[in-house]
Amino acid sequence: MNILTLNCGSSSAKYQVYDWAEKAVLAVGVVERIGLEYSTIEHKKTGADEYNAKVQCPTHEEAIQLIIDMLLDKTHGVISDMSEIGAVGHRMVHGGEKFKQSVLVTDEVLEEVRKLIPLAPLHEPANIMGVEAARHVMPTIPHAIVMDTAWHQSMPAKSFMYAVPTEWYRQYNVRRYGFHGTSYLYTAKRAAVLLGKDPKDTNLIICHIGNGASICAIKNGEAVDTSMGLTPLEGLVMGTRSGDLDPAILPFIANRTGMSMKEVDTVLNKKSGLVGLCSMSDRRDVRDAAADGNEQAQLAIDIETQRLKKYIGAYAAELGRVDAIVYTAGVGEMAPHIRLGATKDLEILGIHLDEEKNRIGQCRNGELDISKDGSPVRIFVIPTDEELVMTEDAYALMEGTYDVHTAFTYSFQSADYVNKARAAGLEQDLKKRPELKKVLVYPPEN
């Protein structure tokens, strides 16, 4: 049996096919530019060369059908019949307060999700579109939705409530929701394995740093605070998003420039963050520019890492005891200069970064420990795997064995768990960079 996962954006549809029996990824891909003059597909069958083509996909329905046709293709496909797909897992950005865990899709569930569109108007409609298109093309297969916000529903009111009139919360659902929850679930469970602890005994601070970035405080295996809020705009400095700022800036700029609130909102989401500071959003470009003497690029790095450090310190105080700091997502996994700026000089909190290990620690296929020997707080780099969480949730929902993450055991919580694709990738990485052996970390032996 195979599980298909779909992550649909406004003009894209990412997919993965996972062989449940073999515990292996069969294919991954993405259809982009949906609804434009022409679309593109990138399809990678495990063990084969990548396939690229220009196609016509006016809507997500054509994109989903294209994905199915590709999976069935005699040359590039990985299945011979649609009956080999047992379930489909879909990413949904916002689950509001109603959805505290993943659920099977029904008409009633979709109606409840539609009510959440005002909370995520840029992402939720595209996610819903993808679910509807997939259900239309694959009507006999169980579909599940996995919410980015579900992980954070364990936060106490003192963490999720804002100090604004309570009517805003009661009438308009204004509160902190948090995002990147599927990534946090995976990395939190893996960190517990690497620590040799039960998840319920672990306190963690996880930094999910990509173009979008957030940080989460985890106490006794559950989320208790996070940096993103009602929307993904709050918190850390990001590629194009401002993160935290004085809210009075909005009316001030609107009054001085004549911009509408919608225009100001667009600037804060798409023209701020690193782009606003130095006209670049890719951390590699910013790093290289700073090395060449670009003062604005260096300032952008300093601001981003200081914000991260402030949150790490705040969450350490909130947790009381920290077992590990975890870095994940593209930047967290591959940008030592960001980790260095955020973690250096935190010895007062028991956090001791090994700068040489941090420099070496660039790898998407292995789990790394970049803390100094004997550091009271471990510092891990753990590549995330949101697709695997979606896959396991969809399978368990189909089988009727699913439960909230505190009462459910994922395959990757085993000390013996191996991601076959990453293991093969790590073998190649070690041939090119044998020094990686110095930072690889494995679960303690029982």
- Active site residue ranges: 148
Kindly report the three-state secondary structure assignment for every residue of the chain.
CEEEEEEECCCEEEEEEEECCCCEEEEEEEEECCCCCCEEEEEEECCCCEEEEEECCCCHHHHHHHHHHHHHCCCCCCCCCHHHEEEEEEEECCCCCCCCCCEECCHHHHHHHHCCHHHCCCCHHHHHHHHHHHHHHCCCCCEEEEECCHHHHHCCHHHHCCCCCHHHHHHHCCCCCCCCHHHHHHHHHHHHHHHCCCHHHCCEEEEEECCCEEEEEEECCEEEEECCCCCCCCCCCCCCCCCCCCCCHHHHHHHHHCCCHHHHHHHHHHCCHHHHHHCCCCHHHHHHHHHCCCHHHHHHHHHHHHHHHHHHHHHHHHHCCCCEEEEEHHHHHHCHHHHHHHHCCCHHHCECECHHHHHHCCCCCCCEECECCCCCEEEEECCCCHHHHHHHHHHHHHHCCCCCHHHCCCHHHCCCCCCHHHHHHHHHHHHHCHHHHHCECCCCCC
Find out whether 209 and 329 touch, Cβ atoms under 8 Å.
yes
Output the six-digit token pair for 47. Answer: 């063990």
Tell me how many degrees the CA angle 47-12-56 measures, rounded to the nearest 5: 90
Output the six-digit token pair for 428. Answer: 């190649």
In angstroms, rounded to a whole number, what is the distance separating the alpha carbons of residues 9 and 17?
A: 18
Find out whether 51 and 42 touch, Cβ atoms under 8 Å.
yes
CA distances from 438 to 20, 196, 362, 381, 433 (A): 33, 20, 12, 13, 11
Residues sharing a CB contact under 8 Å with residue 281, sequence separation 6 or more, in sequence order? 211, 239, 240, 273, 274, 275
In angstroms, rounded to a whole number, what is the distance separating the alpha carbons of residues 287 and 294?
A: 9
